[in-house]
Chain A
Amino acid sequence: MLVTKHPNSDLLIDYASGALSPGLCVSVSSHLHFCALCRDKNEELSSLGGNLLETAAPAELNASALDDVLGRLDEIQPPRPFTQRTLPDDEAKLPELVKNLLPDDGLKWKFLSPALRVARLAVGESRYELALHKIKAGGKTPAHDHNGLEITVVLQGSFSDADGIYHEGDFLIREPGDVHRPTASQNNPCICLSVSESPIKLVGPIKRLLNPLFSVTPQ
């Protein structure tokens, strides 16, 4: 399926130059996993970084720098903590980058509504909350508004709202005032990565019941 919703150029520039906070960075990376077009744009923006490096005025290093570095090349790298955990089927199909961010003891899915679960991902983010949302096949999520920016990247399956249908890789930005009610496609559950700036406001009759569960707690 062709990805049709992309991050804007400002985000891609901040990504290539290294300015995005961890949560936003992961959202763009997840999109790039699916989107060759934006991978090319990123390569183009990074190649400007390469040109700026090539044409920088060289600055002399300490006299011992080369020897110091050569002496350190064989330092043993502490092995990456790796747990041979068997992931549930849907998690096993997530992009490698996202799998590497899953907690060692497994995702803790929390109940948000009968059709919707959320699990937070810790990336040392202070301003945004990074999380995975899972909507069960055909499930409707509660209608909600946004107090701040919310980015959603579809990682698995598809969902729709009043504006359209979104497939794997699609990158959506919602701003305050955009009320929507995502519904997963009938055949498959849908997993999305989301980055949100501040608590999501539920609208509609069940909001009093559910709203505290939506509160965002940046670490």
Chain B
Amino acid sequence: MYAEKTADEWSNLLIKVGLERDREAFTLLFRHYAPLLKGFLMKGSNIGHEQAEELAQEAMIKVWRKADSFNRQKSSASTWIYTIARNCRIDWIRREVRRQRDIHADDLYEPGGENPSQVSLVQLRNKRTIRASIETLPQEQIEVISKIYFEGKTHSEVSEELSLPLGTVKSRIRLALKRLNVQLDAEAEEA
């Protein structure tokens, strides 16, 4: 076993992989993140043990290939790896469930990276804020947040599955995000 590392140390390892193709750094990242990825993916009721294993490995290979595009000013290592796993899951669902393999999620998402962030305060706060664990939320909020983040369901899919009005789903999500200290209240006029 090895001592638990801080968020900054994980970012350092990721940068080492990107710049120096360092296999030892990658191995440390793998030992830490691959089991978390598998556990995270298995929380979605739509993904079984075997698929979660396969996806966790696939995500780690992508971590190796894309590490040079990791930007520590923008994201933490965990957030960046989460987006990689999310895209692997999207591709898996399209490939296995819908039999479509024509386009990859990586081509549909804004690549970020080169585009500067406007509100550097958000980043600073992100680094310092320790978020309350999802386990501290009321059960009904855990349920919607899990369906959204672990299963990649839309608001309307969640509302159908739980037989709840869409408005109820939305308000549970808003309450949960507020309690988890996710800031969405910047003054923006919505379309």
Contact = CB atoms under 8 A, between A and B. Distances in A.
- Give the most central of A4, A59, A97: most B CB within 10 Å: A59
Contacts, number: 212
A180 interface: no
Contacts of A7: 190-191
A29 B110 contact: yes
Interface string A99-132: 0110000000000000000000011100000000
B34 A65 contact: yes
A69 interface: yes
A56 B75 contact: no
A61 B39 contact: no
A69 B57 contact: yes
Interface residues of B, number: 81
Contacts of A37: 118-119, 186, 188
Contact of B149 (A49, A60, A68, A70): A49
- Give the most central of A9, A14, A50: most B CB within 10 Å: A50
Contacts of A29: 108-110
A89 interface: no
Contact of B26 (A20, A55, A73, A122): A73
Interface string B143-171: 00000111011110100000000000010
B72 interface: no
A12 B119 CA distance: 17
A43 B184 contact: no
Contacts of A49: 79, 82-83, 86, 149
Interface of B is mostly: helix
Contact of B34 (A43, A61, A72, A151): A61
A5 interface: yes
A69 to B, nearest CB: 5
Contacts of A170: 191
A58 interface: yes
Interface residues of A, number: 69
B115 A172 contact: no
B56 interface: yes
Interface of A: 4-10, 12-14, 17-20, 22, 25-26, 28-30, 32-33, 36-62, 65-66, 68-70, 72-73, 77, 96-97, 100-101, 122-124, 151, 170-173
10 contacts: A6-B190, A36-B115, A36-B118, A37-B188, A43-B117, A44-B122, A46-B79, A47-B76, A73-B23, A73-B61
Interface of B: 23, 26-27, 30-31, 33-40, 42-43, 49, 52-53, 56-57, 60-61, 64-65, 74-76, 78-83, 85-87, 89-90, 94, 100, 102-103, 105, 107-112, 115-119, 122-123, 126, 131, 133-134, 148-150, 152-155, 157, 170, 173-174, 177, 180, 182-184, 186, 188-191
Given A36-B118, A72-B61, 18 more contacts: A10-B170, A19-B152, A32-B110, A36-B115, A40-B186, A43-B123, A45-B184, A47-B75, A52-B150, A53-B36, A53-B78, A58-B38, A59-B35, A66-B30, A97-B110, A122-B103, A123-B103, A171-B191
